[in-house]
Amino acid sequence: MSWQITRDDLADLARGATLLGTGGGGDPYIGMMLVQGVLGDGAITILDPDEIADDLFVIPTAQMGAPTVMIEKIPAGTEPTLSLRILEEHLGRTADATMPIECGGINSMIPLIVAAETGLPVVDADGMGRAFPELSMETFAVYGVHGSPLALAGERGERVIIDTGDDDRQMEWLARAVTIRLGGVGHIAEYAMTGADVKRTAVPRTLSMALALGRAIRVAREEKRSPFDAIQDTLATTLYQHVRTLFEGKVVDVDRRTTEGFAKGVARIAPADGGAGELEIRFQNENLIALRDGDMVAIVPDLICVVDGDSAEPITTEGLRYGQRVRVLGISTPEMMRTPAALAAFGPDAFGLTESFSPVELLASGEVRPTAASTLVH
Amino acid sequence: MSWQITRDDLADLARGATLLGTGGGGDPYIGMMLVQGVLGDGAITILDPDEIADDLFVIPTAQMGAPTVMIEKIPAGTEPTLSLRILEEHLGRTADATMPIECGGINSMIPLIVAAETGLPVVDADGMGRAFPELSMETFAVYGVHGSPLALAGERGERVIIDTGDDDRQMEWLARAVTIRLGGVGHIAEYAMTGADVKRTAVPRTLSMALALGRAIRVAREEKRSPFDAIQDTLATTLYQHVRTLFEGKVVDVDRRTTEGFAKGVARIAPADGGAGELEIRFQNENLIALRDGDMVAIVPDLICVVDGDSAEPITTEGLRYGQRVRVLGISTPEMMRTPAALAAFGPDAFGLTESFSPVELLASGEVRPTAASTLVH
């Protein structure tokens, strides 16, 4: 069933998308303001992926770049739709809908800007099921839909088309170079596909999941209920079944650099009461691995989310500050994101990590490697 | 009148193109081998720019990258024509002819590869009248024809299109980034234009000039005449009227780095007899400025050419070796390359030099600033 997003939904969506950004993905609140600007009192139609026509022509839209740059370099606002138009012209075919390639962070919002400007509907699905730092890290690619040709629009009207055939990593490599020279941010349209492709290759209903998570956290706070329970109850209705509290404490160290177009670094969290034990999180735009006293308790592609210790407000890696009281959640990804092919595209090895993937629900429950941090959320 | 190039012309053309490369431009001998491979016993038709139809549709073709990389990374051979086809597809129009964008170095040969493969004729003109390191340094751009859209082909079949409107420097900036990530070399088609545009914006008959120079040097050697006289006699029939010997001596120092996609450095030449005096040449792919004992004797866009002291064989900056006996020639460029607009595009300031342009025929004849090096060739 199709449904609609209005301006009243955007703050909740931004909150949920920040959670699914797992520390990165770019700030959806900037995207939210851009959507508000073009949407006004209108509404955006969201299509359920199970119900779209097999021949629906979908062109996903997104922003690429380092989140640390995106905060300082707010887009002019015309680039997202320009990227779609460039790809339409190149392909000689107009889109019937747009879609996120990434449901976490600002890329939950970019397709809404395009939709509000063009009147196109948005398919409720994406290719990352969270946020990832590279364009090749897509379930689309894993299951046979490739990113090329990619269209890239710059803030001064630059138009770039990149076609690397089936080689999505080369596409990422070249598009990243252009993005860096555009000042760190570029707007892209890529992974054009049919409705049948969406059903086969996309992670379904992740836009509605982001909205539901953000809304559940807010409503729980308003009703003085636990927002952590609300997160767990919401995820129980999705393909993201398992939630674990990996650690509670305060931020004691953040080492972050913006290098080669990425925000890379390490954050450390220690018990607020000064007790023993520490959680280390390593990130490349997104949180990649969490180690408690040296023992892995969660690893990509499972979600490692840092949230405020009381309100459960999600905190990005740019938002991490010394002394913040936080809770770190581990959330399981759907099975289609854990297959050998999926792990080859966006598992630990794709990020240069030497650790192998283990499901967070096994790691953090102690079934694989018990740790003192392993407790269920509440 | 149109004329033809066959395999027997290629070695002479390569020699002349190396001279016009002013130290850079990439090694035309590698290009020559590629032309020979596709041309066989065939012939390439060369069109005189004054005689082409005003509505002839011309797509120039070239290679971009650091000459130091080109030597190690020989192209697969299919990229030059692929770049033309990408641009044709993008524009929805097929080319009637190709043309060099740069008559010095390997880019004298790339259009011949395309011509040999496609059967297209080549227009006897270019947009640099020598070699320059950047795609925006074109008389085409100076006189109103812009490079965008540019098509770029990689050795693994990568296809990239870059359109920055009238901003040719931004086009260069983005294309350079892609080229670096392709391993340092990319093949491009750009500055698509009509025959009327060619007549208005191109430096005419530079391909025939390169061939005539290379042939004159060879024939003079065979006939035991001075190849330096032969260079001067040949140039006297072209728009490049003035030749000066800036220095004779041996190479005593070469400092060369490949950085940001360019070969940059300094060469020093001292008298072979150990006497006083020194010529310093600074280069960025091409030789940019020659200083004799600190006094400028030639500066870009005039040509600074290092040749063998006996045979007049041109020597690229990569070919410079300690102890080589060389002669350094200064050659004047045509007036259309010395206008204020032209100097803004490829004069000293465009290379970060603080010196102002002065014509080599005035500098090296002593009319502006006398130096002991100022002697006519022979």
Asked which of A68-82, A212-226, B344-358 is least confident by mean pLDDT, the reply is: A68-82
Q: pTM for the complete prediction?
A: 0.90
**What are B235-259's pLDDT values in tens digits?**
999 999 999 999 999 999 999 887 7
**What are A13-53's pLDDT values in tens digits?**
999 999 999 998 888 888 899 899 999 999 999 999 999 99
Question: Which residue's entry shows tokens 């027997």?
Answer: B8
Q: Which B residues 64-93 touch A at CB under 8 Å?
A: 90
Interface test with A, best of B167, B181, B188 (most A CBs within 10 A): B181
Distance from CA of B163 to the nearest CA of A (A): 5
In this complex, do B158 and A161 lie within 8 Å of one another by their Cβ atoms?
A: no
Which element (helix H / strand E) includes B268?
A: strand B262-270
Q: With contacts defined as CB-CB under 8 Å, which chain B residues touch A170?
A: 156, 158
Chain-centroid distance, C-alpha B183: 22
Contacts of A340 (CB under 8 A, 6+ apart): none
Question: Which residue's entry shows tokens 């120079």?
Answer: B213
Q: Go through the domains of chain A in sequence order and give each one's CATH number.
A: 3-204 (3.40.1610.10), 237-376 (2.40.390.10)
In this complex, do A177 and B177 lie within 8 Å of one another by their Cβ atoms?
A: yes
Interface test with A, best of B86, B148, B161 (most A CBs within 10 A): B161
Buried b (16+ CB within 10 A) or exposed e, B242-280: bbbbbbbbbbbebeeebeebbbbbebbbbeeeeeeebbb
Contacts of B106 (CB under 8 A, 6+ apart): B17, B25, B26, B27, B28, B30, B31, B63, B67, B70
Q: What is the pLDDT of residue A374?
A: 37
Q: How many other C-beta atoms are found inside a 10 Å radius of the C-beta of residue B36?
A: 16
**What are A277-309's pLDDT values in tens digits?**
999 999 988 999 999 999 999 999 999 999 999
The answer to whether B330 and B302 have CB atoms below 8 angstroms apart is yes
Taking residues B289-294, what's their average pLDDT?
96
The two tokens of residue A335 are 């099975």
- pLDDT for residue B154 is more than 70: yes
Taking residues A182-194, what's their average pLDDT?
95
pLDDT band at A372 (very low <50, low <70, confident <90, very high): very low
Please tell me if residue A272 touches chain B, with a CB cutoff of 8 Å.
Answer: no
Q: What is the pLDDT of residue A370?
A: 37
Helices (H) and strands (E) counted in chain B, each on its own, are 12, 19
The two tokens of residue B369 are 């600033």
Q: Which B residues 139-168 touch A at CB under 8 Å?
A: 149, 156-165, 167
- pLDDT for residue B67 is more than 80: no
Give the ranges where chain B is alpha helix by DSSP (H).
7-20, 28-39, 67-72, 79-91, 110-118, 139-142, 168-181, 195-201, 206-222, 227-235, 340-346, 360-363
In this complex, do A158 and B163 lie within 8 Å of one another by their Cβ atoms?
A: yes
Taking residues B40-53, what's their average pLDDT?
97
Taking residues B50-62, what's their average pLDDT?
98
DSSP letters of B120-182? Answer: --EESEESSSS--SSTT--HHHHTT---PSEEEE-TT--EEEEE-TT-HHHHHHHHHHHHHHT
Contacts of A325 (CB under 8 A, 6+ apart): A249, A250, A272, A308, A309, A310
The answer to whether A210 and A103 have CB atoms below 8 angstroms apart is yes
Integer Cα distance of A192 and A190 in angstroms = 5
pLDDT band at B68 (very low <50, low <70, confident <90, very high): low
Buried b (16+ CB within 10 A) or exposed e, A218-234: bebbeeeeebbebbbeb
Taking residues A125-143, what's their average pLDDT?
96
Q: What is the pLDDT of residue A126?
A: 98
Q: What percent of chain A has pLDDT over 90?
A: 83
Q: What is the pLDDT of residue B371?
A: 39
In this complex, do A178 and B182 lie within 8 Å of one another by their Cβ atoms?
A: no
Of B156, B174, B182, the CB nearest to A160: B174
pLDDT band at B370 (very low <50, low <70, confident <90, very high): very low
Integer Cα distance of A60 and A125 in angstroms = 10
Taking residues B144-163, what's their average pLDDT?
97
Strand, helix or coil for residue A174: helix
Distance from CA of B293 to the nearest CA of A (A): 39
Q: What is the pLDDT of residue B27?
A: 83
Q: What is the pLDDT of residue A264?
A: 87
Integer Cα distance of B302 and A31 in angstroms = 51
Mean pLDDT of chain A: 92
- B159 → chain A, closest CA residue: A163
**What are B179-229's pLDDT values in tens digits?**
999 988 899 999 999 999 999 999 999 999 999 999 999 999 999 999 999
**Beta bridge partners of residue B284, listed in sequence order:** B264, B286
Q: What is the pLDDT of residue B374?
A: 37
B373 vs A342: which has the higher pLDDT: A342
Q: What is the pLDDT of residue B368?
A: 45
The answer to whether B223 and B314 have CB atoms below 8 angstroms apart is no
Q: What is the pLDDT of residue B76?
A: 61
Give the ranges where chain A is alpha helix by DSSP (H).
7-20, 28-39, 67-72, 79-91, 110-118, 139-142, 168-181, 195-201, 206-222, 227-235, 340-346, 360-363
Q: With contacts defined as CB-CB under 8 Å, which chain A residues touch B87?
A: none
**What are B4-22's pLDDT values in tens digits?**
999 999 999 999 999 999 9
| B206-222 and B227-235 helices, crossing angle to 10° | 150
C-alpha angle B288-B294-B295 in degrees, rounded to nearest 5 = 75
Q: With contacts defined as CB-CB under 8 Å, which chain B residues touch A134?
A: none
The residue among B272, B309, B276, B274 whose CA lies nearest residue B294 is B276
Integer Cα distance of A361 and B362 in angstroms = 81
In this complex, do A170 and B149 lie within 8 Å of one another by their Cβ atoms?
A: no
In this complex, do B181 and A177 lie within 8 Å of one another by their Cβ atoms?
A: yes
Mean pLDDT of chain B: 92
Q: What dihedral angle (degrees, nearest 10) is formed by the CA atoms of A298, A303, A304, A308?
A: -140
Taking residues A257-278, what's their average pLDDT?
87
Strand, helix or coil for residue B207: helix
- pLDDT for residue A168 is more than 70: yes
- pLDDT for residue B66 is more than 80: no
